[in-house]
Structure 1
């Protein structure tokens, strides 16, 4: 089962994924922004993503396959990596300290929903 770490001050949810393709999924419910961190490097970022899509990806038995076969077609092209929205979201992700993962007091299971 995937654990979802929450970062209350940033209102971003992070889920490390067991996948050869995807390292982690980040989601900010207030903006509907989702970022997928690829194992090969880089991020794919989309806006206005329904929470149900994120939940489906995070809980799929093969998240990389689900991303390749379903998510890419549902979401269309990601934001430009040099676009303002993408840069702001990545900056928020990079502000999450690696050590925070172990010390986060609120860990959610099964869903990004509260």
Structure 2
């Protein structure tokens, strides 16, 4: 069966969309792993985790905050805003994955 050009274009677009969705899901899963390793000592990084430090906002609250931009999150991770936050020396890729995870729990 020969595929019409419009059908082929739609098939390619659907596959690309599925690939991008899988890539985002993979980045979010990696971001959660990183957050559990580097952030969970103070922040609740998942709904089933209690908050470890009173002053550290849960990731769900950060995700729901419209003022929490990607650039702001990256800056907070790169330059600790308070002495209690250790400097994990996160790479740009690690910060991107943590941000993707935060966005994924934002609903």
Shared fold by TM > 0.5?
no
Whose helix fraction is larger, Structure 1's or Structure 2's? 2
Q: Which structure has more strand as a fraction of its residues? A: 1
Task: Pick the structure with greater CA Rg.
Answer: 2
TM-score, normalised on structure 2?
Answer: 0.31
